[in-house]
A and B are shown apart, each in its own frame.
Chain A
Amino acid sequence: MKAFVTRRKRPLAVLSVLTVAIATAVAISVGGAQARSSADELKGAGATFPAPLIAAWQQKYEAAKGVKITYNPIGSGGGIQAITNKTVDFGASDAPMTPDQFNTCGGCVELPWALSATSVMYNLPGLPNNLHMTGPILAGIYLGQIKKWDDPKIKAVNKGVNLPSTDITPVYRSDSSGTTFNFTTYLNTVSRQWKSQIGRGTTVNWPAGVGARGSSGVSGVISRTPGAVGYADIAYALKNHLKFFSMQNRAKKFARPGLAGIRAAAQADRKFNPQSNELSIVNPPGSPRFAKAYPICTYTYVILRMQSDKANLLKPFVTWALTSGQQYGPALIFQPVPKYVVKRGKATLKKVHS
């Protein structure tokens, strides 16, 4: 009986210590949380495309105004879903919302707040950067028709370059992506077969290649796979030191996805879509004005609810992003948005109230 009593105590002691430890951890965390007020915080989620610029904004805005911004780059589709489900204060998408999505969202507005280019990255060890690529060839690659890098069509636009006979592995976004929307919109304009067979969207039925999550996932696969080609915002190509193509525009010139190329392309559309404020600047016409234009540029949009508790924090933030925030763009190859975009944005923001 004595043994029974003493042996009993030890495991109980351990159990009680464990419980106390866990309880303490929880108490500390809850206590710590209460110390931090959530009143001065804005939650956002959405496209990976603008994530580098939003990261810069997060730091600068908190330093300037003391408001903390958190942003979850889960893809344009995720951003639309999050703002529809009211789990965030603002959503971000490179793909403008469709009328159906506006209906489901119920009282949302959308406006463009950044402008950049979708680069087409490739992994060909030993070869120079900025090789030439045309839209039809790219469509052929993604249709699975052009399979090797030393295909005559690719050689024809890259005279003098020693292209290897490696297999081409096209990489695409497996998640719902506004960058995919931008890229497939472009392929639609350069390939009739693509337009009829596949079409455009945030998710499409890719006939060939391999999928990856997020722009970082695409960059990741490309960096590990010799012979891979894929699309993501130019900031990702630069950040990960990946090579990217100079794309042929309608003026038959090969343009790089830099600030000049984006600036030229942005002239292509000044008419805002009445509901989504969409401006489509993909594959601008071939007139001399667009000689420098990079053909795969896109605006990226922020989505807000017209009625929001955080309206008094949201409106200053988005206004700041449209104006002062743009100065942090060029280092990340985001071209500051034109004045008419700022004007339209401010007008749209007036619809947001608390």
Chain B
Amino acid sequence: MSANAPTADLFRSERMRRRRIVNRLVEGAATAAALLAVALLIIVVSSVVRQGWAAINVDFFTKTPAIYTGFGPRPASGISSAIIGTLIIIGIALLMALPVGVLTAIYLNELAPRKLASVLTLAFDVLNGIPAIVLGIFVFIFVVVGHGQAAWKASFALAILMVPMIARSTQEVLALVPSSMREASLALGAAKWRTTLSVVLPQAVGGIVTGATLATARAAGETAPLLFTSALYSDSVSYDPRQPIASIPMFIFTSAEQADPVLHEQAWGAAAVLIGIILIASLIARWFADRSVRRLKGER
């Protein structure tokens, strides 16, 4: 290491410098990418808030959509029926999906033999990946053709969407419940069903609420299934689940493509309301998730 030393050092530090530059570049690119994602989010949300602000007033939340023929004074118009409609549709969907999801998770986690559980889990994961538009067509073929659209049929389509999500998150939290609790209960002579319902399930409630809230948030924004099951374009108002009823996503969808700038404003406003609902739901879900996971992990 005598005569070669200076050249070797130079070579090494040259390579080292290049490697460090590459490292810096990649770090910069990674930071830029993250900033890009945040920027996109800010751009979209700020568009929604900025454009939708003009539309949001008391009328917006209390009046129903009114058709404006272009002549004469514009009637006061709002999305109250769409908001209530979305709540009804999501509410019924949750009523359909929550029991099925939780019971499924109980079976897959507590009762099923291992092989069967993995096959059934795969089935639910595949179901999760089916595009919402195909679900819409399926429900249309299955219950709408010949009978007419209805809000509960829209709820049915959304419930199919929600069940895999609820089942998955319930499964995850059931797995976190320590088996020592189950064994203790069984050893005391309690039946399996008693153990599951009174000992295991209460521990998992936080996770169930998380899953249900996340699934609700996702379903609230879905439009494709609504196209086929509860598409109400005109200004009629209905809250009967056996009829098609208005909903926020459908309102945004139909208003966006029109030429009327006031409708555009209302679409932005409706988008703001929708994002608000989803945001609140996600925050609630996250809070519950953190809490329940921390509690369960703390108990070990």
A residues contacting B by CB (< 8 A) are 7-8, 11-12, 14-15, 18, 22-23, 25-26, 28-30, 32-33, 36, 38, 52, 55-56, 58, 68, 70-74, 85-88, 212-214, 216-217, 219-224, 235-236, 238-240, 242, 331-332
Contacts and interface: CB of A to CB of B under 8 A. Distances in A.
A235 B70 contact: yes
Contact of B209 (A15, A223, A332): A15
A302 to B, nearest CB: 16
B202 interface: yes
A332 B295 contact: no
B35 interface: no
Given A15-B205, A87-B148, A216-B258, A22 B95 contact: yes
Interface string B133-172: 0000000000011111100000000000000000000000
Nearest to A240: B259
A7 B295 contact: yes
B63 to A, nearest CB: 16
5 contacts: A7-B295, A18-B209, A86-B148, A212-B257, A220-B259
Contact of A55 (B69, B209, B256): B69
Nearest to A219: B259
A17 B239 CA distance: 23
B206 to A, nearest CB: 5
B257 A214 contact: yes
A222 to B, nearest CB: 7
A14 B95 contact: no
Contacts of B92: 26
Contacts of B202: 8, 11-12
B91 interface: yes
B67 interface: yes
B257 A213 contact: yes
Contacts of A242: 259
Max chain A CB contacts within 10 Å: which of B67, B206, B259?
B259
Given A30-B240, A217-B258, A240-B260, A11 B234 contact: no
Contacts of A217: 257-258
B94 interface: yes
B205 A239 contact: no
Interface in B180-205: 202-203, 205
A236 B258 CA distance: 10
B241 A68 contact: no
Max chain A CB contacts within 10 Å: which of B69, B206, B295?
B69
A29 B70 contact: no
A86 B146 contact: yes
Contacts of B144: 87
Given A87-B147, A220-B256, 4 more contacts: A72-B232, A72-B233, A74-B233, A220-B259
Interface in B197-243: 202-203, 205-206, 208-209, 231-236, 238-243
- Secondary structure call for the A interface: helix
Q: Which 9 A-B pairs have the closest CB atoms?
A: A239-B70, A33-B240, A11-B205, A240-B259, A223-B259, A219-B259, A87-B148, A70-B236, A22-B91
Nearest to B85: A29
B209 A36 contact: no
Contacts of A214: 257
Given A8-B202, A56-B69, A26 B146 contact: no
Contact of A26 (B69, B241, B288): B241
Interface in B260-300: 260, 288, 292, 295
Given A11-B292, A12-B202, A219 B241 contact: no
Interface string B73-106: 0000000000010011001101100000000000
Contact of B70 (A11, A36, A238): A238
Contacts of A32: 239-240
A217 to B, nearest CB: 4
A73 B69 CA distance: 14
Contacts of B149: 87
Contacts of B234: 55, 58, 70-73
Given A11-B206, A26-B88, A87-B149, A33 B70 contact: no
Contacts of A212: 257
B87 A216 contact: no
Contacts of B236: 68, 70
Given A11-B209, A12-B202, A52-B69, A85 B145 contact: yes
B209 A216 contact: no
A240 B233 CA distance: 18
A151 to B, nearest CB: 26
A235 B95 contact: no
Contact of B257 (A18, A25, A55, A220): A220
A33 B259 contact: no
B239 A33 contact: yes
Nearest to B84: A29
A224 B256 CA distance: 12
Contacts of A72: 231-234
Contact of A33 (B147, B235, B241, B254): B241
A219 B94 contact: no
B95 A26 contact: yes
Max chain B CB contacts within 10 Å: which of A8, A33, A221?
A33
A55 B67 contact: yes
A68 B236 CA distance: 9
Contacts of B239: 28-29, 32-33
Contacts of B209: 11, 14-15, 18
